[in-house]
Amino acid sequence: MTDNGKIKLYGFNNLTKNLSFSFYKLHYLVKANQHPEYKKYINQRYSAEKLTSLLSDICHAIGGNILNVAQQDYQPQGASVTLMISEEAEPLSYPESLVAHLDKSHICVHTYPDDNIQNNIAIFRADIELSTCGVISPLKVLNYLIEEFDADVIDIDYRVRGMTRDIHGNKQFNDQVVENISDYLANDIKSYYQLANNNLVRSNVFVTKLCRNNTKFETNIFAFIANELSNKLLSEIDVRISEERRQLYTTQ
């Protein structure tokens, strides 16, 4: 082991490290006629062009180089972006820079806007997957992605697959000690969310779920204007949003 907890390996690190997110963002539509406006907002806010910029930032943050980009907007809504990347120089420290490059590695995002709004609540979901080989760790961008999406409920999976060898020729199935994904979260993020870890450590599978503690009216209410809604209505909205969060968090 080295001082930073990393195992000293022989040659190229061919372990595959896969980090997957499902971000759930809840929006309450106060008026029945806001659906077209909401769809327009989602298509603009999470367009393929903007998602490409986000993934490029992620790639540079973990220290990589973009090899190829495929992006697609869908009708009536939704988008997908995939970046093929290759490993290059050591990444600069977050948040000073965000960069990209990884051989046999990729980053992709797919969005799933809710077109069947129930009880005035629209659920927007975005799935992001980072799959890397080599020295690059996708865990470096945990906090950046959570802050960027500002989601209400988040599912995170981290898996390590494959086999490499240390300098003595011994097989290694992970290149660093990982106990919980939550150990890599910033303290301020932990204060905003309740979280639960569910791991299969012997299989190098780590799962963390996060649920926002409180409703954020300024972001959870679509086209929110302060002092426009009564305290009674705000209280009712809070109850509905909280129940939706609970169901997504507990998958019940």
Q: Is 110 a catalytic residue?
A: yes
134: its two tokens: 């080599």
Residue 241: which of 151, 158, 169, 173 has the closest Cα? 151
CA distance 227 to 165: 62
Tokens describing residue 64: 């990589």
Q: Measuring CA to CA, which residue among 199, 197, 154 is closest to residue 174?
A: 199
* Residue of 210, 74, 217 whose CA lies nearest to 145: 210
Residue type, 134: G
- Strand ranges (E), the chain: 16-28, 64-73, 79-87, 105-112, 121-133, 153-161, 164-165, 171-172, 193-197, 205-212
For the chain, give percent helix, strand, coil, nearest 5. Answer: 30, 35, 35
Give, in degrees to the nearest 5, the angle at Cα 24 between 70 and 129: 35
**Which of the residues 59, 108, 133, 211 is marked catalytic?**
133
Of the candidates 105, 137, 182, 242, the residue annotated as catalytic is: 105
105 given a catalytic annotation? yes
101 is catalytic: no
Residues identified as active-site? 105, 110, 133
